[in-house]
């Protein structure tokens, strides 16, 4: 069922919003705990369909997970063969991370997903795992389904052409099961959640220059409270910027690979305050306050583009109401997310009366104003939620396909309503 919602003009946002647990960390916590033998406790798992897909996939392998995050596993070597293909729905993270975890076992599994996941590139993943001697193959054109035939792996030096956190994580999960050490290198800009956690667990160490050494070993059961999701918080930060309001989001992951948007907003003249509150397994957490509006255009390039990757649709909205040309480059990977997000972002800004143009690896947005309009989510959760937030500047926005927000944040519309009232 396709749901159309209308978000009307609102007052400035002024709120403290507790966003859900982080999606990237939830996938990692679930898969690492499932690799461990015994009982793990995972509090505040992300609520959306993507993480539910990882839970279902692990259950197919014989792992038990209760509603309140108690996970019981026989350990990665005790996983049972899934009775049918594993359907990761909209979650490419589930496919890539599980491919790494399954590569060193004894099982055969086929990992697939919905029509969007079946368009997600898997070549870099397959080639990285092949370095370890894995038998992992993609379908035609390097796309899912992914077939994994678990086998004994050997440590290797892996050089990735792109800073994909998912591929680095898959290589690390496979490397844990290999004989001998594995090193992983890539350009900068990836979220290094997995590597920080493995380091804290004594299963790896950073090497400098974006390198990481994986030490083969057994993952211990985990007991963690997942930090809140900065990619979800970013919708609220942007609502504050666009409405000239203020929002505070406590307890958010401050992994440097996740919060590039705060750097971008600061460069655009937004007041951003971060209060560090601690860390979970070596990964920093903090309270963030953002006060709008923005005052100047900026450039987002190089590793900053990667560190802002999931938030670039929001950067486009801020840019659309901020004087000057904002240029986003080095973000070609956006064409291979849940939708072609370069095309989708430019279409969204234009549908709301703004000025934007595509480039091969990003977009240029010229500041002006936004007007009421109608946006198609393209069945991409981040575009749907960005369009709802745009109402803070545009007035009335009609969004076709809003239900897709359930991929990462089913309660998003209620949270946004509360922030505005």
Stretch that binds ligand S3P, among 30-38, 106-114, 165-173, 248-256 (CB under 6 A): 165-173
- Judge contact between 104 and 75, C-beta under 8 A: no
Given the complex with ligand S3P, which of 65 and 122 has the nearer CB atom? 122
Binding mask 324-363 for ligand S3P (x = CB under 6 A): ---------x------------------------------
By CB under 6 A, the residues from 91 to 110 that bind ligand S3P are 93
For every residue of 349-382, DSSP letters joined together read HHHTT-EEEEETTEEEEE------EEEE-TT-HH
Given the complex with ligand S3P, which of 116 and 322 has the nearer CB atom? 116
CB of 189 to ligand S3P, least distance (A): 8
Question: Residue 139 and residue 261: Cα distance in Å, rounded?
Answer: 35
* Sole binder of ligand S3P in the list 40, 73, 116, 164 (CB under 6 A): 164
**Across the strands, what pairs with 225?**
43
Stretch that binds ligand S3P, among 150-158, 160-168, 211-219, 366-374 (CB under 6 A): 160-168
CB of 145 to ligand S3P, least distance (A): 18
- Judge contact between 25 and 197, C-beta under 8 A: no
CB of 154 to ligand S3P, least distance (A): 24
* Sole binder of ligand S3P in the list 192, 310, 311, 376 (CB under 6 A): 310
CB of 207 to ligand S3P, least distance (A): 20
Does residue 210 touch ligand S3P according to CB under 6 A? Answer: no
Given the complex with ligand S3P, which of 10 and 196 has the nearer CB atom? 196
Given the complex with ligand S3P, which of 195 and 420 has the nearer CB atom? 195
Assigned token pair, 142: 């390097």
Burial of 84 (0-12, 13-18, 19+ CB in 10 A): exposed
- Of the residues 283, 310, 376, 380, which is catalytic? 310
Residue 160 has, within 13 A of its CA and on its CB side, a CA count of: 29
Query: DSSP strand E in 63-202: where?
Result: 64-65, 70-74, 86-87, 108-112, 135-137, 146-149, 157-159, 182-185
What is the size of the binding site for ligand S3P (CB under 6 A)? 10
Does residue 195 touch ligand S3P according to CB under 6 A? Answer: no
Active site residue 310: yes
Question: Residue 235 and residue 278: Cα distance in Å, rounded?
Answer: 23
Residues labelled catalytic: 310
Binding site for ligand S3P (CB under 6 A): 24, 93, 164-166, 169, 191, 309-310, 333
């Amino acid at each position: 069922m396709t749901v159309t919602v209308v978000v009307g003009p609102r007052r400035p946002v002024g709120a403290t919003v507790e966003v859900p647990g982080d999606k990237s960390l939830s996938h990692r916590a679930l898969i690492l705990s499932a690799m461990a033998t015994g009982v793990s406790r995972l509090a505040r798992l992300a609520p959306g369909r993507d993480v539910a897909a990882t839970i279902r996939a692990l259950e197919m392998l014989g792992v038990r997970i209760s509603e309140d995050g108690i996970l019981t596993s026989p350990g990665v070597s005790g996983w049972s063969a899934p009775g049918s293909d594993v359907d990761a729905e909209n979650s490419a993270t589930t496919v890539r991370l599980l491919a790494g975890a399954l590569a060193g076992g004894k099982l055969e599994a086929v990992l697939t997903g919905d029509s969007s996941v079946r368009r997600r590139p898997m070549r870099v993943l397959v080639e990285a795992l092949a370095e370890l001697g894995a038998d992992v193959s993609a379908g035609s054109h390097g796309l899912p389904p992914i077939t994994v035939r678990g086998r004994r792996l050997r440590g290797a030096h892996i050089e990735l052409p792109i800073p994909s956190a998912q591929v680095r994580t898959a290589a690390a999960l496979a490397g844990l099961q290999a004989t001998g050490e594995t090193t992983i290198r890539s350009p900068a800009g990836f979220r290094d959640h997995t590597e920080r956690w493995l380091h804290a667990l004594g299963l790896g160490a950073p090497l400098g220059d974006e390198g990481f050494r994986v030490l083969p070993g057994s993952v211990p059961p985990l007991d963690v409270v997942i930090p809140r999701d900065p990619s979800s918080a970013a919708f609220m930060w942007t609502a504050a910027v666009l409405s000239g309001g203020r929002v505070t989001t406590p307890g958010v992951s401050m992994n440097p690979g996740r919060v590039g948007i705060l750097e971008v907003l600061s460069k655009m003249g937004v007041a951003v305050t971060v209060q560090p509150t601690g860390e979970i397994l070596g990964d920093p957490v903090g309270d963030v306050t953002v006060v709008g509006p923005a005052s100047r255009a900026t450039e987002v390039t190089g590793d900053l583009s990667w560190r802002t990757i999931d938030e670039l649709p929001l950067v486009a909205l801020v840019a659309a109401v901020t004087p000057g040309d904002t240029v986003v480059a080095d973000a070609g990977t956006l064409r291979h997310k849940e939708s072609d997000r370069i095309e989708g972002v430019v279409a969204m800004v234009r549908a709301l009366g703004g000025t934007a143009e595509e480039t091969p690896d990003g977009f240029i947005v010229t500041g002006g104003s936004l007007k009421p309009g109608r946006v198609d989510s393209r069945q991409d959760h981040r575009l749907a939620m960005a369009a709802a937030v745009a109402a803070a500047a545009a007035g009335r926005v009609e969004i076709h396909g809003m239900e897709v927000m359930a991929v990462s944040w089913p309660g998003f519309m209620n949270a946004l309503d509360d922030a505005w009232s």
